[in-house]
């Protein structure tokens, strides 16, 4: 079996016509028919049902199509990675992060990596976890900073740090000194992530508020933590955010109250495509882990 057999098979499976498939492959119809027959003989399976009027995939053919598409996608990723290694870490390295992580650490990471790998063009993207997972699976980004949960057999990850949740409000509009006073929030307006954008955060908000005995009135929604903080800063609502946000949004108008009574936290993960941890990825993970140790001390 050769790679051309697989490519010919996929094109015929797409077109379901020997004439159209041969035309798009720039070969004549007889060689295409011969290649498909050779493939079926080697597999010991019939992949297509043929008659004078139509060509259709058998159940075996449909299964084979799905698996071969995945195989060739992985082969393309392997080829790209091999080229990167051959070029001695030149080219492009794509890093994505969620907006609710501490931007200061990420800026330091880019500075560190740029100094270590001066011939690499580092690209930084703010991307929600759900989209990052898809991009990591498809090899569209090289390194991701995401929030758990993560359920993907195609991604390797390790815990960067655990983050608690904090109430954030405008201190000129609200006076909340402790968690025992949260009943006053029953009538308050909440600002939060859009449910479609960050479903885990949205559900966490509901769980936290339920533990304090009320349902939040979510009036304003946003896809960006900076927008949420700005709305809270302007007195347009209250929010519940990851505690680490305080490091990068420590404005005089804002008060942060860590919610220690709720048994709920969020894990920040460092993620790479499975089995594809490059030298740069290893350096990034080592740097961020050391940076976290410094932050804790």
Token pair recorded at residue 9: 């098979």
What are the domain boundaries of the chain? Answer: 3-84, 88-160+267-296, 165-264
- What local confidence, expressed as pLDDT, does residue 16 receive? 92
Strands 48-50 and 55-57: antiparallel
**Pick from 81, 97, 107, 80: which is nearest to 132 by CA?**
97
Residue 136: CB atoms within 10 A of its CB come to 26
39 against 80, higher pLDDT: 39
Write the CA distances from 228 to 58, 113, 130, 145, 245, integer angstroms: 52, 30, 19, 20, 11
The string of pLDDT tens digits covering residues 182-236 is 877 888 899 988 888 778 788 888 888 888 888 888 888 887 888 899 999 999 9
Position 89 confidence tier, pLDDT thresholds 50, 70, 90: low
pTM higher than 0.75, yes or no?
Answer: no
Q: Which of 172, 176, 226, 220 is nearest to 195 (CA)?
A: 220
Instruction: Kindly report the backbone phi and psi dihedral angles of residue 102, in degrees, each rounded to the nearest multiple of 5, phi listed first.
Output: -70, 115
| pLDDT 10s digits, 241-257 | 988 888 878 889 999 99
User: Which class in CATH covers the domain with range 88-160+267-296?
Assistant: alpha beta
Residue 86 banded pLDDT, cuts 50, 70, 90: low
CA distance 133 to 273: 9
Specify burial of residue 137 (Cβ count, 10 A radius: 0-12, 13-18, 19+). Answer: middle
Instruction: Report d(CA 205, CA 262) in Å as an integer.
Output: 11
Radius of gyration of the chain from its Cα atoms, rounded to whole angstroms: 26
For the chain, the DSSP string reads: --HHHHHHHHHHHHH--HHHHHHHHTS-HHHHHHHHHHHHHHHTS--EEE-SS-EEE-HHHHHHHHHHHHHHHHHHHHHHHHHHHHTTS-EEEEEEE-TTS-HHHHHHHHHHHHHH-TTEEEEEEE--HHHHHHHHHTTS-SEEEEES----TTEEEEEEEEE-EEEEEETTT----SGGGGGGGGG-EEEEE-TTT-HHHHHHHHHHHHHTT---EEEEEES-HHHHHHHHHTTS-BEEEETTHHHH---TTEEEEE--SS---EEEEEEEETT---HHHHHHHHHHHHHHHHHH-
Six-digit token pair at 99?
Answer: 């907006």
pLDDT tens digit string along 144-164?
999 888 999 999 999 999 988
For 45-68, the pLDDT digits (tens) are 999 998 877 899 999 999 999 999
Q: Is domain 3-84 given the CATH code 3.40.50.10470 in the classification?
A: no
Residues 6 or more apart whose CB falls under 8 angstroms from that of 96 comprise: 124, 125, 126, 127, 132, 135, 141, 143, 144, 145, 146
Q: Just give the CATH number of 165-264.
A: 3.40.190.10
Greatest alpha-carbon pair distance for the chain in Å reads 82
Residue 103 has pLDDT above 80, yes or no: no
| 43 to 46, 231, 269: CA distances (angstroms) | 8, 62, 42
Closest CA to 239 of 191, 206, 295: 191
Q: Please determine whether the domains at 88-160+267-296 and 165-264 fall in the same fold group of CATH.
A: yes
Q: What's residue 202's pLDDT?
A: 84
């Amino acid at each position: 079996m050769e790679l051309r057999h697989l490519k010919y098979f996929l094109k015929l499976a797409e077109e379901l016509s020997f004439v159209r498939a041969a035309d798009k492959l720039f070969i004549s119809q007889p060689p295409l028919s011969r290649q498909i027959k050779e493939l079926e003989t080697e597999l010991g399976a019939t992949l297509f049902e043929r008659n004078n009027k139509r060509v259709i995939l058998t159940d075996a053919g449909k299964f084979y199509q799905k698996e071969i598409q995945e195989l060739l996608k992985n082969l393309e990723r392997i080829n790209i990675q091999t080229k990167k290694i051959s070029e001695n870490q030149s080219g492009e390295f794509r890093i994505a992060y969620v907006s609710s992580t501490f931007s200061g650490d990420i800026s330091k990471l880019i500075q560190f990596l740029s100094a270590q790998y001066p011939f690499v063009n580092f690209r930084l993207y703010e991307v929600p976890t759900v989209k990052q997972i898809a991009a990591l699976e498809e090899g569209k980004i090289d390194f991701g900073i995401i929030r758990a949960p993560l359920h993907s057999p195609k991604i390797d990850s390790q815990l960067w740090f655990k983050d608690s949740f904090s109430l954030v409000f405008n201190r000129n509009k609200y006076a909340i000194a402790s968690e025992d006073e949260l009943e006053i929030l029953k009538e308050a307006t909440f600002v939060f992530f859009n449910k479609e954008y960050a479903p885990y955060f949205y559900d966490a908000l509901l769980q936290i508020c339920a533990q304090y005995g009320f349902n939040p009135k979510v009036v304003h929604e946003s896809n960006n933590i900076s927008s949420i903080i700005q709305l809270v800063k302007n007195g347009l609502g209250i929010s519940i955010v990851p505690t680490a946000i305080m490091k990068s949004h420590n404005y005089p108008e804002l008060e942060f109250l860590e919610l220690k009574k709720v048994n709920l936290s969020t894990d920040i993960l460092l993620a790479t495509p499975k089995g594809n941890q490059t030298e740069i990825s290893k350096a990034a993970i080592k740097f961020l882990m050391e940076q976290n140790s410094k932050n804790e001390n």
